[in-house]
Structure 1
Amino acid sequence: MSIDIKKLNEEMRHAHPSEIIKKAIEIGGDRPMVSTNFRPLEAVVLDMATKVKNDVTVVWVDSGYMMPHTYAFAEKTIEQLKLNIDVYVPKMTAARFGGDAAIPQPEQEEELATFAEIFKLEPFRRALAEVNPSVWFTSLRQEQNQNRSTMDIFDMDANGMLKCNPVFYWTEADMEAYVQENQLPDEKRYFDPTKPSLSHECGLHKSGFLK
C-alpha cells in the first residue's frame, strides 16, 4: 500500500473524525480495529467507529489493575454500543505481580518500562498479531500530553498497517459535547498504572512501537 501520509494528514486536518474514520477504512483496507482502555471519553471513538462499521473489531487490554467503576463503565459501553470486543490479558496476573503495592512510582523509569511491557505492551502486540488489522484506530489526542506534539492523525508501520487517530485535534470540550449529544456512557474516575503521570507514555504510542 502506497500512501502519502504527509499529504493525507494535510487533507484531513480539519475533517470531522467520522469522515476521517471513513477515509481510513476506504484507503487502509477492510480489517479495521479500534483499541480502547475505557478511560474517560473513550466512548466517543467507539461510537464513531461502530457507526461507520458496526462489527469493527474492538481490542481491550485488561491489565487487571482497573478500578471497579472502570469495569462497570466498560461493561455498560460494551452493551450499549454492542461492541465486537476481544479482550486480551497479561500472561502474569496483577495478584501474582504483587498487586497495587508493586506498581512502580513515576520516578522508577526502568521498573515502569518493565511493568508496562508485562501489563500492556506484550498483550497488545499479541492482539495485533492475532487480529492482524489493516487499520488501527485510537482515541489519542494531541492536547493530552507534550509527547504527542510530533504526532498527527495518520501514521503507518513498516508492514503497511495504517494507524489513525481520528480525534487527534479535538479538545476535551469537543469530546464532552459529543458524549452529551449522543447520550454515551462515561466515567471520570480512572487510573492507568502504566502511566502514573500525565507526561508519561507507556510506550504504545511512542515512535518505534510500530516496526
Structure 2
Amino acid sequence: MASLVPASTSSSKYAADGADIDTQVQRIIADLPNINKQLQDAHPSEILAWSIDNLPNLYQTTAFGLTGCVTLDLVSRISSERAQKSGLAAHHLVPLIFIDTLYHFPQTLDLAQRAAKHYNAPMHVFTPTGTSTVQEFEDRWGPQLWQRDEDTYDYLVKVEPARRAYQELNVRAVFTGRRRSQGADRAALSAIEVDETGLIKVNPLLNWSFADVDKYVKENAVPYNELLDLGYKSVGDWHSTSLPVDKEAGERDGRWSDKAGKTECGLHRDYFKFKVLAEKKLREAELSRRDDARA
C-alpha cells in the first residue's frame, strides 16, 4: 500500500520557531510532566488529536488488537473531520506499522488487510530479517524457537523488525494499544511516555476498560478480529494465545498461559538490554552451528 508522510506538526508550539525534528522531540520530552498532567484524564480523541498536532513523524504500531482497532477508527474520524473543515481531500493522518511475526493467526492477517483498506490507511509491513515465510524462518532458526529460547524469538520476530521499521521510516512517536486495565506492567501507564531509545509512546486509550473498548467497537461497527467472538480477549501469535479458562479472568490471561509471570512480548521492555542479550545468544548459536558443521 502506498505510504503517506505523517501529519505535519508545523503549527505545534514545539516547532513554532522552525525547530528541526530532533529539537521538537527534545522539547516534548522535557515538557512531559506538563503534557501528562493535561492528558492523563482526557478522552482518547483528545489525546489522539493532541498527538497529531504536536508529535513529529507519528505512526500507529498495531497488531490489530481491539484497542488498536478503536484507535484506527478514531484517527480516521479525526482525519475526515479535519479534511471537511479544510476543504481538502480526506487522507488518513497516521500511517500504520504492522509487525508480521509470521506466526499470526490467519484471522489477524485478514483483519490487517481488511482494516487498512476499510480506513484507506497506509500500512507498512515488516517481517523478521531475511525471512518472509515460516519455512524460511525455521530453516534459519529451527522449529519452535519460542519454546527453546523465548527471548531470542521475541527479539527476532518483534523487537528487531519494529526497531528496523522505526529507523527506516524515521519514526519518532507511535500510538500503542496499551491500557491500564490490562494490569501487570501496564497498570501505571501515563498518556505520553518516552522509552530508552528516545521513542515517544502514546497510550490514547489508557483509561478505558475492555468493556469500554468493546462497547465502542459494537456501537461504531469497527472491524475487529473474529477470534474475539470465540471468547478470546487478547490475540497474539497462535502458539502463545489461548482461550481464558475463567470468563472473569483478566483480558491478557490467555497470553503466555504456560509462561508464569510473562506479560509482555518484548516491544515494551528495555530495548538495549534486550538487544545485547539476544545478540549474545545469536552469536553463540552461530558458533555452535559452525562447530557442528566442522565436526
TM class by smaller structure: 0.7 to 0.9
Q: Which amino acid aligns with 2:256?
A: P
Deviation, structure 1 residue 58: 0.5
For residues 78-122 of structure 1, give each alpha carbon's deviation from its aligned partner in whole angstroms, at most 9, with x where no partner exists.
Answer: 1211111011111234223449961534xx6xx111000111111
Q: How many residues align?
A: 205
For 2:27, the equivalent position in structure 1 comes to: 2
Give the secondary-structure state (helix, strand or coil) at the position aligned to 2:125: strand
Among 82, 86, 94, the residue aligned to 2:134: 94
Q: Using the alignment, how far apart are the partners of 1:209 and 1:63 within structure 2?
A: 18
Could you list the runs of 5+ residues in structure 2 that have no partner in the other structure?
A: 1-25, 80-91, 241-254, 274-295
Q: Which has the larger radius of gyration?
A: 2
- TM-score, reference length from structure 1: 0.85
Q: Taking every aligned residue pair, what percent have the same amino acid on both sides? A: 30
TM-score (norm 2): 0.62
- Tell me if the contact between 1:146 and 1:199 (Cα under 8 Å) persists in the aligned partners: no
Q: Which has the higher contact order (CA 8 A, sep 6+)?
A: 1
Q: Does 1:40 align with 2:66?
A: yes
Superposition RMSD on alpha carbons, in Å? 2.6
1:128 aligns with 166
Q: Alignment partner for residue 53 of structure 2, among 26, 46, 51? A: 26
Gaps of 5+ in 1: none
Q: Distance in 2 between matches of 1:85 and 1:98?
A: 26
Tell me the distance in 1 between the aligned counterparts of 2:98 and 2:216.
22
Pairing of 1:138-149 with structure 2 (within 5 A): 138-149=176-187
Say which of 4, 10, 15 aligns to 2:42: 15
Q: CA–CA distance in 2 between the matches of 1:169 and 1:203?
A: 23
Change (3 A) 1:96 1:83: same
The answer for the alignment partner of 2:146 in structure 1 is 104
Summarize deviations over 1:46-105 as a string: whole Å, max 9, x none: 112233341421000001111112222222211211111011111234223449961534
Identify the residue that residue 196 of structure 1 maps to in structure 2: 256
Q: CA deviation at 1:179?
A: 0.8
Give the number of the structure whose residues are more often strand, by fraction.
Answer: 1
Match of 2:104 among 66, 72, 81: 66
Deviation digits for residues 149-189 of structure 1 (CA, Å, limit 9, x no counterpart): 23311112466542211011111111111112221111215
Per-residue Cα deviation, 1:125-159 (whole angstroms, up to 9, x for no partner): 00000111232111111222311223311112466
Q: Residue 115 in 1 paired to residue 153 in 2?
A: yes
